Every structure is written in structure tokens, then in C-alpha cells.
A and B are shown apart, each in its own frame.
Chain A
Amino acid sequence: MKINVPHVAKLANLTLSDQELKKFESQLQETVDYVEELNEVDTKGVESTSQVTGLENVLREDIAKPSLSQEEALSNAKDTYNGFFKVDAILEDE
């Protein structure tokens, strides 16, 4: 099956050059073909593992504690406004 590389790039929020698109098309195919090997392993009725040491539902009390100050939290942002992160608009004007 051919991988739709521009579609995957869009899902991953990556802007790829034409050259990269071409390169990844063949390399992704290579990797997909490689891992197809797993089909040799019979997994009928096998549960999948999501946590290796067997922990389940690790809960704690919801208690507010001191955390980063607003200033610290914003200290690495490229663009801020009135103590907020500034982001590009994602909705167009009606």
C-alpha cells in the first residue's frame, strides 16, 4: 500500500520540502515493509500491554500546590501579550 506522505505530514503538522516528501516516501515505505515482519507472530487472543510494571489507575488527591509563576511560565515564549501566550488566529472572521 502506498503511503500518502503529504497527508501524514499535514497530520503531523510538519512542512516538508518536495525533496523531503520524496525521500520520506521511500524511507517510510521501507520501514513499513520492515515491520510487516510482525505478521509472522501469532497474536490471536493476546492482550496488548500498555504498562509494563502492572500499575493501574494511579490516583492522588487533587490539592492545589505552588507551581511555576506566570512570569516563569512565560519566560521561554517568543511572543506574549499582557501576560498571555500569543498565538496565531485559527478562526477566520465571519
Chain B
Amino acid sequence: MNNLNLKQAKEALKNKKISSYELTKLCLETIEKTDKKLNAFVTVTNELALKSAKNADNSIKNGVELPLLGIPIAIKDNFSAKNVRTTASSKVLDDYISPFDSTVVKKLKDAGAVILGKTNMDAWAHGSSTETSDYGPTRNPWNTNYLPGGSSGGSAASVAANQCIAAIGSETAGSIRQPASWCGVVGLKPTYGRVSRYGVVAMGSSLDSPGPITKTVEDSAQILNVLAGVDEMDATTSPLPVRNYTHELNKSIQGLKIGISDEYFIKGIDKEVEEKVKQAIKKLELLGAKIEKIKLFDPKYAIDVYTIIQRSEVSSNLARYDGIRFGNDRSSFAEEAKRRIMFGTYALSSGYYDQYYNKAQQVRTLIIEDFNKAFKKVDVIIAPTSPSLALPVGATKGESMFGELADVLVEPSSIAGLAGINIPVGFAKNDLPVGMQIIGPQFSESLVLNVANQYEINTQDEKWRNLTPSL
């Protein structure tokens, strides 16, 4: 029953088909059985999980109703959870035990969730492969010779492999959507500031956005309902009211205007990715949506903007790791972190600020204005999430900008702080999943989830939906 999605698991718990303790145990057993192959977890918190599952069962017995009561969830290892090791997959934090809960973890606990443990990621979230983890790469459940994407690769692989009911990831530019794409699951990157960053190991502070990785779109909406909202611990969270994100899931998309941009079907894109995404767009057209060609700012410049802004913010954020208050000293940084710190330090160093950081922030303005213009004409924009299928283990070796280059199609919307979601749209001939992204304006999560859900529920009968990874 660990292959249940969130909605089904909630029903099974409610109808006493299974207890939270049994469900949690099933997840832990699946982790035990499959994680030698996958390496999706850095830390599994067996005892804590079983204890909170027992508490959840008591609450259920006493008629308590909470949105995630008794649901086993996996958390990316850059979210602080009180009294649990938080490494961000870096040896710098190898023995760091967080003395407080991140807001996301606190909200999950308050909603009754059972936390299974902490999932593997690119160290410090620096990458799109989970291959730069200091604890070894995570492998793709659909084919363990392939990478899961990243940086939330452990969370995406864990959901795909049914080690958990749902998982939490974080995205700076692509780190939720791209691994969700490579692992064939749903990954929502909310608008910047919709979900609190408090207690998340910081990467690019002007970009970082926590969000859910789930088996279905409805599950994603359910978890966003728990996570979204203003937080006094993170001044960049938005005071705009939170919607009920499940309310509009079933709205018709008749007349919805979908923008398609040739710039996003870039040169060198995998032919099968292109074909499946175009088929999915056709499907939405059959459901009543209107497809409109639009011209968007060339995403190639987003690579430059993102590289400069992110690495600059990385160099600033990682300055705190000096081994004095917590963690090991700076000699424990691995190569990718050092490379990014070095570039960021250079870009911010005296005399270069205008040339790099300021220039990038100016082009960022142009990218934002370009999207604003586009959203006057269309409601959402649809594109492939990743230009490629999952790549084989080892693909990042010797590539000094692998992450930034792999995420070309998700970087523009991240730079502009927009809402976006990856949904699976089928499989390629080599049995690896293909993902498509739906991008909407800031704070349009309801709309983006609505479009994603309409695709999902209207393709339920397609044969590929029955596939599960064999591990």
C-alpha cells in the first residue's frame, strides 16, 4: 500500500484500511529494500517516524482531523528538522544536528505528517543530477544506470519508487521540476515567497522556493495548502492571501490560452521529449484550450543571468560555514561548491560588481518584463521541462557548468519568481519518463495546478500510467 498516492492514503487511513504505523512501516521497509540501489536517503529516521505514526494513530482514533495526519513524507536534506541531522548532502555538515525546525517542517508536523527521513541532493543543492552529493549519487528508479536529476533528486526518486507517499523539495532554478521530470513525478515550484525559506540551507536567496514532489497533481495542491503562507521568520514571504489550491482543480480549461514559444524547443532537444510534449499540448487543445504562438526572451541569456546571480548569492550564503558555530571548516567543501564560491566571489569582488551582478539583475528585469508582456496575451506557457531525458550516471564529470546548462528551460521562470509545475506526459522508447512544464504568472498556483490536473485526469487511461519502476 506504499504505492498509494496521498489522497488514497488519506482515505485508507480514514476508513481504517491501514494504520499510520503500518503504512509508515511499509515505507520504511521499502526504503530498506530499495535504497541500496537508489541511495535516495541520506538519513532515515526510523524510530522517530514510527513514534510519530503511533501518535497519529492515536489522534485518528480520537477523531482528530488534520490535512496530512499519519502520512509518511520524505524531506530533502536541506530542510532543518529539530534534533535530526541536516547535511545538505555536504561533508561540511556531516555531524550537524539541527536545533530547530524549518517553517516547512513545522507546518508538516502541525498538519500531522510523519517524517521518514532526509533525502539526498546535490551538495548544497548545487546541481541538476544529485551526482555532486558527498554521500554518493542517487539513481533513477526507472533505470538505475541513469541519474534522477537534481538537486531534489532524492525526493523525486523516493516518490517514484514509492518509498514515501509524497516528498518535499526546493528549487532555485529547476531543482524541483527537473528531477520530477526525469523521475516521472509531479513537482511544483511555487512563486518565490509563497512558501517560507526559514530553516532551509540557503543557496540563492533571491530564488529559493520550497515545494512538493508528489504522485499526482491533486496531492501537490493538498500539500501546497499546508505549506503556503506568510511567515514572520522569512521577510520575503508574501502577505497575499493563500488560496485553497484544491478548489479550482476541476475547472474546465475551455478557452484557456496556452502560449507556446519556439525558443523553448531549443536546438539539440531530445526528439522524443519534443514529440511527447507536443502531443500533450494537443491533448489540452482537444480539452478546449487555445494554443497561441508567442515569442519569449531567448532562454540562453537566462543561463548567464542565473549563473551570475546564483553563484554570487552562493558565495555569500556559504561564507557562514567556517566550522566555528556548527559543522566542519571550509576544507570540507567539495569541488562543485568551491567552484561556485570562487566564481561568485570573483563576480562580487571590488571592481566587478557592475559588470556581472548588476548587469545580471538588469537583464533579470528584462526577463520579468518579457513574461509580463506574454501573460497579457496568454494565461499559461507550456514547454518541455528538460531538453533531455534522464542522463546516464557519470554525465556531470568534467562539466564545470552542468547544472546551469541542464536547466536552461526552467531558469527564466525561476529568475522571474513565477509559479511552475512539471507533470509526466509519457515515456520514451528507452522507458525513461518525459516531463512537461506549465508556467503561470506569480501567485497563479491555482491556475497552474488546474491545467496540470485537467491533463492528468484526462489521460488516466493511457497505458503508460500503469508503469511502475521495478527495483
Contact = CB atoms under 8 A, between A and B. Distances in A.
Given A13-B322, A51-B236, A43 B362 contact: yes
A56 to B, nearest CB: 11
Contacts of B341: 12, 14
B294 interface: no
Contact of B343 (A31, A41, A51): A31
12 contacts: A14-B338, A20-B338, A30-B401, A35-B360, A38-B360, A48-B364, A49-B362, A50-B206, A53-B193, A55-B193, A60-B232, A75-B97
Contacts of B368: 49, 52
Interface of A: 3, 5, 8-9, 11-16, 20, 24, 27-28, 30-32, 34-35, 37-41, 43, 46-53, 55, 58, 60, 68, 72-73, 75-79, 85, 87
Interface in B306-359: 307-308, 315, 319, 322-328, 330-331, 333, 335, 338-339, 341-343, 345-346, 349, 356, 358-359
A35 B417 contact: no
A58 B236 CA distance: 8
B363 interface: yes
Contacts of A75: 97, 99
Given A38-B359, A52-B206, A76 B319 contact: no
B361 interface: yes
B304 A35 contact: yes
Given A8-B349, A76-B97, A31 B327 contact: no
Interface of B: 95-97, 99-100, 191-193, 206, 232, 235-236, 238, 300-301, 303-305, 307-308, 315, 319, 322-328, 330-331, 333, 335, 338-339, 341-343, 345-346, 349, 356, 358-366, 368, 400-401, 415-417, 442
Contact of B442 (A9, A27, A53, A72): A53
A11 B308 CA distance: 17
A48 B301 contact: no
Contacts of A49: 361-362, 364-365, 368
B192 A52 contact: yes
A12 B345 contact: yes
B307 A51 contact: no
A53 B232 contact: no
A72 B101 CA distance: 13
Given A24-B342, A34-B307, A43-B363, A51 B99 contact: no
B193 A31 contact: no
A34 B339 contact: no
B327 A85 contact: no
Q: Identify whether the interface residues of A are mostly helix, strand, loop, or mixed.
A: loop
B307 A47 contact: no
A30 B335 CA distance: 16
A75 B325 CA distance: 9
Contacts of A9: 342
Given A9-B342, A16-B338, A53-B193, A58 B301 contact: no
B236 A76 contact: no
Nearest to A74: B325
Given A38-B363, A48-B358, A60-B232, A13 B99 contact: no
Contact of A47 (B96, B331, B339, B362): B362
Interface centre among A15, A39, A47, A49 (most CB of B within 10 A): A49
A75 B442 CA distance: 40
B319 A27 contact: no
Contacts of B319: 12-13
Of all A-B residue pairs in the complex, the 10 with the closest CB atoms, nearest first, are: A52-B417, A48-B361, A76-B326, A43-B362, A58-B235, A12-B345, A27-B400, A35-B304, A72-B99, A46-B362
A40 B356 CA distance: 13
Contacts of B236: 51, 53, 55, 58
A87 B324 contact: yes
Nearest to B328: A78
Q: Identify which of A53, A72, A85 gathers the most chain B CB atoms within 10 Å of its CB.
A: A53
B115 to A, nearest CB: 20
Nearest to A42: B366
A8 B345 contact: yes
A4 to B, nearest CB: 9
Given A14-B342, A34-B307, A76 B99 contact: yes
Given A14-B342, A16-B338, A34-B401, A47 B365 contact: yes
Contacts of B238: 53, 55
A72 to B, nearest CB: 4
Contacts of B342: 5, 8-9, 12, 14, 24, 28
Nearest to A53: B193
Contacts of A30: 400-401
Contact of B326 (A13, A41, A47, A77): A77
